[in-house]
Structure 1
Amino acid sequence: MLKKYAVILLTIIILITNSAEAAKKGKRTKKTVKRPIETSLIVDSETGKILHAVNADTKIYPASLAKVMTVYLIFEKLQSGQLSLDQKFTVSKYASKAMPSKLYLKEGEQITVRNAILGLVVKSANDVSRTVAENIAGSGKRFSRLMTIRARQLGMKNTTFTNPSGWHDPRQKTTAIDLAKLSIAIKRDFPQYYAEFFHRNSFTYKGRAVRGHNKVSERYPGADGLKTGFTTPAGCNLITSATRKGRSLIGIVTGQRSAAIRDKKMVTLLDKHFGVKPTKFTKKKTTKKKHRKTKKRTRSNKRNIKT
């Protein structure tokens, strides 16, 4: 009988010990999960003057903000005459297998340079990123080297690219300062192409409407682009370019917990440094109110953005 009780007691002790160890491991695991680094930066795009900076020199993951450099290299090829907007890129099997966000290109499909740029700017399509890289440089690896070389030439000293899409790689890092330099450069070096593509929030591809999700670019008064980005390690990132009251600013916000928080922070910073009243985004009116008079409907549409 004593042996039986001893065995039961020993079993209970082992179970309690294992549970305690598991709990400790769980706590250790939670402690090792790193939150994305939050950064923010506002720069006068004409003078380069920094108006606001938080962790602006801290290395971060760019996520899809890396695609701005991918587009920069396409613009270079267009300007030099090595590419034309109607020229076609061929999609490889590898490119077609890219994870979303994507245009769902198929192996062997051809896409024009024009639609490829729109796919990157509007949809942030990873299959398009791979397609561009392979058709220009032969592989994503070689293309990412070109991205890093150009980054150094633009003064982006703390940036390394390892793929053309911004797909997470611990080695692929940048800073808010470097992203501002890239943003200023793409507007300065290719004004005609920038104006043609970066203001777009939608386009039609093979009869299908493709919409973006850059609400700040679409709704903020004076905004003319640039780019959103997200991965879990990077958080929600955003670059915005806008001009108001004759002044042009570039805003960088990264590492946010949600797109809504990111957008709100960007708008607040831009409003402050433009010296304007707070801008508020309101939800678009639903189709239930279609029976209202045209005059009233027009007025409600104008209230989508209040300044």
Structure 2
Amino acid sequence: MFSRFSLALAFLLGSAPAWAFETQATAAWVYDLTTQTVLLDKNANTAIPPASMSKLMTLNMLFEALHDGRYQTSDTFAVSEKAWKMGGSKMFVKPDDRPTVDELIHGIIINSGNDACVVVAEGMAGSEEEFARRMTERAGQLGMDHSTFANASGWPDPDHRMSAHDLGLLAVRLITEFPEYYSYFALTEYNYQGRVPANGQNRNPLLRIKGGDWKADGLKTGHTEEAGYGLVGSAVQDNGRRIVFVIAGLPSDKARAEESERIASWAFREYAMKTIAKAGTRVAEAEVWMGDAETVGLVPAEDVARLIPVAARDQMTAEVAYTGPLKAPIAKGDQVAELVVQIPGLPEARVPLVAEADVPKGGFGKKLTTAAQVLIKRFFPAEAPAS
């Protein structure tokens, strides 16, 4: 028998729901990395022109090579005529330069250098075309199902596409898998050989925000006429809670700056971490079959904390689910049930519940009592209520 019953959680108080977020971005994805919760999904699986935001994939390829020991940040790459003649955003390398990997990372992240991307692509794969093929192959391996690459820089091409979701997955990977390189994304200026106009300012508008209860530290802007203005961003609070978000298709640089700040503020202020059950605190009881106790307490092994929309606290529900009655013997700490938490607008959360105490098998007397109860129920069922 599968048992499931509702559980009242006394702390849940609040007002009418008002946690939805309307964005003018044509595609958006907002993710709470700390709790692995998607907060917003708008056309997030639609393949779109990613512009320079796709440079994050070029960086991923380079970071993987650094992590594996194939390259060092002090290694140098040659600059081809193709790289030197690249248009758009540049770090202004020249054919007689031998930039280091460290310098190229700076140039890609801070200056959004198309030339730097070509240098890396040719240095790692021999040609940009081969590098793009490897990028597409690697994206598939990483579960980025809506990504194909025609080049290393995000230069406009009908075959160069990514989804907001894929960009978000990529950002999460860069943050979690390569923490030793993530600090590059928070840098605001880089001027290679004194050649970069305006002292090589990072275009990420969130990096210039001071004060408040959160701080941005990445990752990459993008803009072409076809793609509009976009941003892959990440921000963190003092308590360590981090969000990652992607917005695309904004009409102007100003709109991108305003929308990215609004989204970050909304994600931090309209959602709060709440402890809904303490470790070792009984939340329910389960029936026990053939044990020396009729029931056993159900407790979470760890504190259960969940991200909850501030305006939807009164609409959260929780149920305990288990297949029962549980058969003795039961050992303390055995997982025997789940706490199923339903929060409006968020995926269902399932939390393991364990036995609060040992329940040994019942003795001979218990077996006789149980057998008698079974016989009584079989041959003398309760009378049906009068109609």
Q: Sort the TM-score into its range (normalised by shorter chain).
A: 0.7 to 0.9
* CA pair 90-207 structure 1, distance change in 2 beyond 3 A: same
Q: What residue in structure 2 maps to residue 171 of structure 1? A: 159
Q: Work out the CA distance in 1 between the residues paired with 2:150 and 2:182.
A: 24
Q: What residue in structure 2 maps to residue 102 of structure 1? A: 90
Please show how residues 1-307 of structure 1 align to structure 2 within 5 Å.
38-195=26-183, 197-207=184-194, 209-219=199-209, 221-244=214-237, 245-275=239-269
TM-score under structure 2 length normalisation? 0.60
Q: What residue in structure 2 maps to residue 10 of structure 1? A: none
Q: Show structure 2 runs of 5+ residues with no match.
A: 1-23, 271-387
Does the aligned pair in 2 maintain the 1:37–1:234 contact within 8 Å? Answer: no
Q: Work out the CA distance in 1 between the residues paired with 2:134 and 2:236.
A: 31
Q: Work out the CA distance in 2 between the residues paired with 1:112 and 1:125.
A: 14
Q: Work out the CA distance in 1 between the residues paired with 2:26 and 2:98.
A: 39
Q: Structure 1: which 4+ aligned runs deviate by more than 4 Å?
A: none
Q: Work out the CA distance in 2 between the residues paired with 1:108 and 1:137.
A: 20
Q: Work out the CA distance in 1 between the residues paired with 2:85 and 2:164.
A: 31
Aligned amino acid, residue 232 of structure 2: I
CA deviation profile, 1:93-112 (whole Å, cap 9, x unmatched): 11101002112221232111
Aligned amino acid, residue 134 of structure 2: L
Q: Work out the CA distance in 2 between the residues paired with 1:145 and 1:121.
A: 22
Q: Work out the CA distance in 1 between the residues paired with 2:207 and 2:136.
A: 27
Q: What residue in structure 2 maps to residue 295 of structure 1? A: none
Q: Work out the CA distance in 2 between the residues paired with 1:37 and 1:265.
A: 8
Q: Work out the CA distance in 1 between the residues paired with 2:251 and 2:130.
A: 33
After TM superposition, give the deviation of residue 207 of structure 1 in Å.
4.0
Q: Work out the CA distance in 1 between the residues paired with 2:67 and 2:38.
A: 30
| Aligned alpha-carbon RMSD (Å) | 1.8
Q: Work out the CA distance in 2 between the residues paired with 1:136 and 1:218.
A: 33
Q: Secondary structure at the match of 2:132?
A: helix
After TM superposition, give the deviation of residue 246 of structure 1 in Å.
3.0
Aligned amino acid, residue 218 of structure 1: R
Kindly name which structure, 1 or 2, has the bigger radius of gyration based on alpha carbons.
2
Aligned amino acid, residue 116 of structure 2: V
Q: Work out the CA distance in 1 between the residues paired with 2:236 and 2:204.
A: 17
Q: Work out the CA distance in 2 between the residues paired with 1:156 and 1:40.
A: 16
Q: Work out the CA distance in 2 between the residues paired with 1:150 and 1:211.
A: 30
* CA pair 117-125 structure 1, distance change in 2 beyond 3 A: same
After TM superposition, give the deviation of residue 40 of structure 1 in Å.
1.4
Does the aligned pair in 2 maintain the 1:84–1:113 contact within 8 Å? Answer: yes
Q: Show structure 1 runs of 5+ residues with no match.
A: 1-35, 277-307
The structure with the greater share of residues assigned to helix is 1
* CA pair 257-56 structure 1, distance change in 2 beyond 3 A: same
Q: Secondary structure at the match of 2:162?
A: coil
After TM superposition, give the deviation of residue 37 of structure 1 in Å.
7.5
* Residue identity (%): 37
After TM superposition, give the deviation of residue 48 of structure 1 in Å.
3.0
Does the aligned pair in 2 maintain the 1:61–1:172 contact within 8 Å? Answer: yes
